Amino acid sequence: MALVTTKEMFKKAYEGKYAIGAFNINNLEIIQGVIRGAKAKNSAVILQCSTGALKYAGATYLKAMVDAAIAETGVDVALHLDHGPSFESVKEVIDAGFTSVMFDGSHYDYEENVAKTKEVVEYAHARGVVVEAELGVLAGVEDDVVAEKSHYTRPEDVEDFVKKTGVDSLAISIGTSHGANKFKPEQCTKDANGILLPPPLRFDILEEIEKRIPGFPIVLHGSSSVPQDEVAKINKFGGNIKDAVGIPEEQLRKAAKSAVCKVNIDSDGRLAMTAAVREVLATKPSEFDPRKYLGPARDSLKNLYMHKVNNVLGSDNKA
């Protein structure tokens, strides 16, 4: 039971052909929902904080709540900075006790991404912290790293990038995307029920990358599947979410059996929690005890992530 880096987790995941879930945390209920789900499934887990999460809750609170969650459950946890935009952002969380950081230099040109990532790696490794970097660009908006247009990772860059920077894992762009509206309806086809289906992931690029850096852990961001039952529940109870589309779970399951060792999921958890809160508030209008809607939201998140462990990651009973 410990706060650990991702090193051992990724080694086991690579060899065992599964992936570790990296779930975004912002508050107590999310942390409890995620870690209790991991405990119930006997799975390791990565808890990650965006710069938005750090602004909302603060690194000190988040670290202390994660310590409490580990003490309660005994689950192995890596505490990770998601999409760190700068050297300073990385330094702040390392000083706060995080064990893993992402430096997201994907929006810089190649040489600048290499130079800035290398600087982060030197600082982090000297303090026993592992580093994830990104090559290629995913569409979507995060707090401090914004991309209007995606472009796929160029397999011919990965070997040189990994060698020059010394990173521990690499996030790549093969068609996933951030948020609950990953693609415009015109980019999608429709299934028999009229549900939007996105263009398939580029497994050819992933395979080419695997060949060039065998044994090296790959990360997939933007890996929510956007469960349509949760979207429907949100809309039934007063929400208005249109044209929501995610990455089908079978495709992520296939990726998790490859060199992909870390799969980032946030939007699905947000949908599950919002649906649960909306249901309580709509069906029990006189309720005003926050525990009565945050409790069901926490349970819903736990159930969703238990489902992910089995149906997407394959990390059950591998802790």
Q: Can you list the alpha helix ranges (DSSP code H) found in the chain?
A: 7-16, 28-41, 51-57, 59-73, 87-96, 110-125, 155-165, 203-212, 228-236, 249-256, 267-283, 290-308
Reading the block at residue 199, the tokens are 């263009």
- According to DSSP, residue 198 is labeled P
Kindly determine how many residues on this chain lie close enough to bind ligand 13P according to the rule CB under 6 A.
14
**CA separation for the pair 219, 238 (Å, rounded):** 35
Q: Which is nearer to Zn ion, 132 or 279 (CB)?
A: 132
Residue 4, amino acid: V
Q: Is residue 100 a contact partner of residue 63, using CB atoms and an 8 Å limit?
A: no
262 interacts with ligand 13P by CB under 6 A: no
Cβ of residue 312: shortest distance to ligand G3H, in angstroms?
Answer: 16
Reading the block at residue 162, the tokens are 């990994």
46 interacts with ligand G3H by CB under 6 A: no
Per CB under 6 A, which of residues 284..313 are in contact with ligand G3H? none
Q: Which is nearer to ligand 13P, 169 or 280 (CB)?
A: 169
Question: What does 308 bind: Zn ion, ligand 13P, ligand G3H, none (CB cut-off 5 to 8 Å by kind)?
Answer: none
Per CB under 6 A, which of residues 63..102 are in contact with ligand G3H? 82-83
Name which of 259, 258, 272 is nearest 308 in CA terms. 272
Angstrom distances, CA of residue 22 to CA of 169, 185, 188:
13, 27, 26
Q: Is residue 216 a contact partner of residue 172, using CB atoms and an 8 Å limit?
A: no
Q: Which of 5, 32, 43, 50 binds ligand G3H (CB under 6 A)?
A: 50
Q: Which is nearer to ligand G3H, 101 or 280 (CB)?
A: 101
Cβ of residue 111: shortest distance to ligand G3H, in angstroms?
Answer: 25
**CA separation for the pair 134, 1 (Å, rounded):** 29
Query: How many residues are recorded in the chain?
Result: 319
Q: Annotated catalytic residue: which of 76, 82, 104, 266? A: 82
Reduce the DSSP state of residue 172 to 3 states and report it.
strand
181 interacts with ligand 13P by CB under 6 A: no
143 interacts with ligand G3H by CB under 6 A: yes
């908006």: which residue's tokens? 141
Cβ of residue 137: shortest distance to ligand G3H, in angstroms?
Answer: 13
Question: What does 169 bind: Zn ion, ligand G3H, ligand 13P, none (CB cut-off 5 to 8 Å by kind)?
Answer: none
Helix axes 267-283, 290-308, angle to 10 degrees: 140
Q: Which of 132, 134, 142, 268 binds ligand G3H (CB under 6 A)?
A: 142
Q: Which is nearer to Zn ion, 179 or 227 (CB)?
A: 179
Q: Which of 105, 136, 179, 227 binds ligand 13P (CB under 6 A)?
A: 179
Helix axes 87-96, 110-125, angle to 10 degrees: 20
Q: Which residues of the chain form contacts with Zn ion (CB under 5 A)? A: 221
**CA separation for the pair 161, 218 (Å, rounded):** 13
- The verdict on whether 82 is a catalytic residue reads yes
Q: Which of 25, 47, 53, 263 binds ligand G3H (CB under 6 A)?
A: 53
Q: Which is nearer to Zn ion, 221 or 308 (CB)?
A: 221
Q: Which residues lie near ligand G3H (CB under 6 A)?
A: 24, 50, 52-53, 82-83, 142-143, 178, 266
Residue ranges that bind ligand 13P, judged by CB under 6 A: 24, 82-83, 178-179, 221-224, 264-268
Catalytic residues, by residue number, are 82
